[in-house]
A and B are shown apart, each in its own frame.
Chain A
Amino acid sequence: MTSLMTTFKTFLRPRFKTTSAFLIATFVATIISLIIIVWNTHSFKNTNISNFILMYAAIGGLALFIKLAQNIEIVWTHNYYRLIPISETKLYLSNFLATLVCLIYYSGVQVILFLLWELILPTAQLQISLFSLPWLRLLPPAIVSVLLCLFWWVFISLIHMATNATAAFLPNTRVRLVRWLIYLVFIIIFSILISQFNRLIQFFFGNPDNASFLMLFTGLSLLIVIISAINIYLLKRWVETTA
């Protein structure tokens, strides 16, 4: 049998390349934007650079989130991945682990670059708000952000697997209709979750104390574990590849 580590490394390699490409793209975009601004205004303001780094990191991050979600989903329904002699649990874990590592890599590099820039050419405001804080206090928001991304990925997988599994029990003529009904149900659940999370996250980032962090951390982790257990069950028993 193929091991979890081997599968993880195999999944990681192309995704790492993709993530690196996204990182390069955000740097290039930042530099080009700066050149254009300096060219047009004939002035160089340090705040521009920090703003551009943050803006492009966010745009790139969102695009990477979608790209990695696609990479996750393709594994569930294609023979190229499902024929690997590995248990569904290990396939699931290796798929998510590889994606998680890429997310941490992307976020880590962006944060390091931002902080490096702040060290080289400090921005007065950020100096006060960022460097006056103990570094450890940056950790809880980072963990919450990673957990949030992971939560949405497992949730997207749940939608995909649930529709795939349900489709097998419907007559061909009704598949499309029921699929849309399932999407509708999930969109409603999605909207409720978004509003609940929004409240929790606003509360957490407004009061980043240990209690609110622990509450959010436990809640998100629990949800990820529960949804993952359902996903693995669906993968093992019902989710088929496309012929």
Chain B
Amino acid sequence: MTNLVTLSNVTYKRNLKIIIDHLNLQLPQNNIIGLLGANGAGKTTLMRLISGVVPNYKGTIRIGTATTNTARKQVASFSQILTGVQPNARLTEIANYCDTLYSDFSIDVFEKIIASLDLDGTEKLSALSKGNRMKCVLAVTLARRVSLYLLDEPFDGIDSMTRKRLIKSMLTWKPDNATILISDHHVEDIANILDQVVILKHQMVISQKSAEEIREKDGLSIETYYENIYEGGVDHDQSHDNL
């Protein structure tokens, strides 16, 4: 399996605290990978590091051939893109902004996604409910045709029906060969679509395993496996071996 993302010996400190400590990780192409971990485990930071918005870290991060922060921004689409957008901006204005600045942004895909999620492009971002805002975030993120999608808790605070629609959308609009790294607290909601699971604890990856193996070989659900890892029920060293 070809690796799309490689992190080697990545360390990141902030406010005199180590957030990511000598982290090594490889993510394959054309996979949906669940990034799991408790609050403060470093999931968002890891995504920020991969996306290229964090300048001061040690180690190397590579997406395909892209190693610099600027180059990584070109090949990865990060769901935190709407941080800082003017609240009175209309969805179509945001789409036009992205269309101008990102050569891989597809207005056509954006319009299809928002139509499928019952969003109106003329609405202002500030007028959207939390659920609709998350739909918009997903539409903007997936409208870019890139090789890596970083979805940071895209279903946070969303009801189960909407969550299912967002997951369906995600699967529909994911380009072939693209990889999705998705973090979520509700493991059970995304468990069925995952190809792989990466678990973060103590500022590093303590487990990376294929979902199929967890289910078939270990006979566990993803959720149980995750809970066992966190409670120390599964040997961490073994959990890396089976990829």
Instruction: Tell me the A residues contacting B by CB distance below 8 Å.
Output: 1-2, 6-7, 9-10, 14, 74, 77-88, 167-172, 175, 236-243
Contacts and interface: CB of A to CB of B under 8 A. Distances in A.
Contacts of A87: 70
14 contacts: A1-B70, A6-B100, A7-B101, A14-B86, A79-B82, A79-B83, A81-B84, A85-B101, A85-B102, A170-B15, A237-B56, A240-B55, A241-B84, A243-B83
A171 B15 contact: yes
A80 B83 contact: yes
A83 B53 contact: yes
Interface string B80-119: 1111111000000000010011110000000000000000
B78 interface: yes
B16 A171 contact: yes
Given A9-B100, A85-B73, A237-B55, 7 more contacts: A1-B70, A80-B85, A83-B80, A85-B70, A170-B16, A171-B16, A243-B44
B150 to A, nearest CB: 10
Contacts of B217: none
B39 to A, nearest CB: 13
Nearest to B52: A83
Contacts of B15: 167-172, 175
Contact of B97 (A10, A78, A238, A240): A10
A82 B51 CA distance: 10
B53 A10 contact: no
B100 to A, nearest CB: 5
B203 interface: no
B62 interface: no
A14 B103 CA distance: 21
The bracket for how many chain B residues form the interface is 20 to 34
A238 B81 CA distance: 20
Nearest to B45: A243
B210 interface: no
A170 B16 CA distance: 6
B83 A78 contact: yes
Contact of A80 (B44, B70, B81): B81
A79 B83 CA distance: 5
Interface string B25-36: 000000000000
Nearest to A234: B55
A84 B69 CA distance: 11
Given A175-B15, A240-B54, A77 B84 contact: yes
B48 interface: yes
Contact of B101 (A84, A88, A175, A238): A84
A69 B84 CA distance: 15
B16 A242 contact: no
Nearest to A2: B101
Nearest to B79: A79
A172 B15 CA distance: 6
A84 to B, nearest CB: 5
Contacts of B82: 79-80
9 closest A-B pairs by beta carbon, nearest first, are A78-B84, A80-B84, A85-B74, A85-B73, A79-B83, A80-B85, A79-B80, A172-B15, A171-B16
B16 A169 contact: yes
Interface in B31-65: 44-45, 48, 51-56
A168 B56 contact: yes
- Among A9, A87, A239, A240, residue most surrounded by chain B Cβ atoms (within 10 Å): A240
A6 B101 CA distance: 7
B56 A240 contact: yes
